[in-house]
Amino acid sequence: MDYSKLNDIIKSSKNILIISHINPDGDTLGSMCGLYSAILDNYKKKCDMMSISKIPDVYSFLPHLNEVKNIEDYDKSREYDLVINVDVASLDRICDAKTLFDKAKFRVNIDHHKTNSAYGDLNFINPDASSTGEVLFNCFSEMGWRVNLDAAICLYTAILTDTGSFRFDNTKPLTFDTAGKLVEIGVQPSDIYKKVYESDSKTLVMFQAHCISKAKFLDNDKIAYTIVYKKDMEKFSAGDDCMEGLTEKLRAIVTTRIAFVAKEMKNGGTKVSMRSKFADVAEICEIFGGGGHKFAAGCTIKAPVEEAARKVLEEISKHEL
Ligand SMILES: [Mn+2]
């Protein structure tokens, strides 16, 4: 991977745009704000930052997050010298921002999804890394960049959230190594932990309790799933951020091997979030045009929610759980 080229292109570009993926998580937001902080610190240059959809309130503590603008506030005809996608496995994850990405003089793709097709002019993809935050920290080190506390907080949050607090299978020696370096810079793990994991709203907890109470169990409880209808969301005034962590709660049941949540979308389609303990759910989601990681993946199915759930169950039945 050509780190000096990345350094040169960032150094010479006059206007830079960093893009995070739709339904942003801690990794894409932490990576975006971390990269912004590092560019600002190392080159005294401000970049534009773009979100595609609503940012969950829980991440409001991230330095520079208030400088992120929504896609709707961007002029799509603008031409950037450099556009950098972070944690964006495929270009459909940035929706209409693809126009801006395609038009840029130079395109960089920084990611850790194994399904990433290396669509950039320059690609930094490490499927062995826990998170894009980890990939970025390595880029900073290779480029000899300073990493200040703001950037460190952002990258630590990216790693923490994508590893589910260093619990998931993607947690490797390098993950702790990187996190250790960030703590050395001044990140306080207990402080970030509280901000991320002990800030659930009452709405989220009550809504998820409702969804869990309706869960269905199949195949000796090896399969756990729940269907979330539009009317459930309305009843609790729950936003999309209230879905966060729901599938993991079903997977956390001792008997569960595979868990999914099928959510009825406004347009009548279905959004599926899938988690497993052994089976490769990225493979299952790819059949429906989605993707992700081995134990955590998702897809969107153009079918009413109950029919979509049936299709998913049919596909699951073909797999060793
Ligand atoms: Mn990620």
Averaged confidence pLDDT in the chain: 96
What span, in angstroms and rounded, lies between the C-alpha atoms of 83 and 141? 21
Distance 218 CA to ligand 1 centre (A): 30
CB atoms within 5 A of ion ligand 1 belong to 27, 87, 131-132, 162
How confident is residue 241, by pLDDT bands cut at 50, 70 and 90? confident
The answer, yes or no, to whether residue 106 has pLDDT greater than 90, is yes
Residue 296 CA, ligand 1 centroid: distance in Å = 11
What separation in Å is there between the alpha carbon of 24 and the centre of ligand 1?
Answer: 10
Q: pLDDT tens digits, residue range 255-288?
A: 999 999 999 999 999 999 999 999 999 999 999 9
pLDDT in tens, 196-205: 999 888 999 9
Instruction: Write the DSSP string, 24-42.
Output: --HHHHHHHHHHHHHHHHH
pTM of the model: 0.80
Q: Tokens at residue 106, please?
A: 């130079």
pLDDT at 36 over 90: yes
Residue 1 has pLDDT above 90, yes or no: no
Of 170, 306, 162, 316, the closest CA to residue 227 belongs to 306
- As a whole number, mean pLDDT of residues 1-6 equals 95
- Over the stretch 287-311, which tens digit does the pLDDT of each residue have? 999 998 899 999 999 999 999 999 9
CA–centroid distance, 131 to ligand 1, in Å, is 5
Q: Write out the two tokens for 52.
A: 């595609």
Residue-wise pLDDT tens digits, 152-198: 999 999 999 999 999 988 999 999 999 999 999 999 999 999 999 99
Residue 65, Cβ neighbours under 10 Å: how many? 18
Percent of the chain predicted with pLDDT > 70: 100
Write the pLDDT tens digit of every residue in 144-164.
Answer: 999 999 999 999 999 999 999
Displacement of CA 315 from its chain's centroid (Å): 24
- Is residue 155 a contact partner of residue 30, using CB atoms and an 8 Å limit? yes
Q: 69: CA distance to ligand 1 center in Å?
A: 20
Ligand 1 center from residue 272 Cα (angstroms): 17
Between the CA of 180 and the centroid of ligand 1 the distance, in Å, is 19
| pLDDT tens per residue, range 211-236 | 999 999 999 999 999 999 999 999 99
| 234/157 Cα distance (integer angstroms) | 30
Instruction: Please give the distance, rounded to the nearest whole angstrom, from the Cα atom of residue 29 to the centre of ligand 1.
Output: 10
How many Å lie between the centroid of ligand 1 and the Cα of residue 231?
30
Q: Six-digit token pair at 152?
A: 């460190």
* DSSP class per residue in 155-210: HHHHHHHHTTTTTSTT--HHHHHHHHHHHHHT--HHHHHHHHHS---HHHHHHHHH
Q: How far is the CA of 220 from the centre of ligand 1 (A)?
A: 32
Please tell me the predicted confidence (pLDDT) of residue 293.
Answer: 85
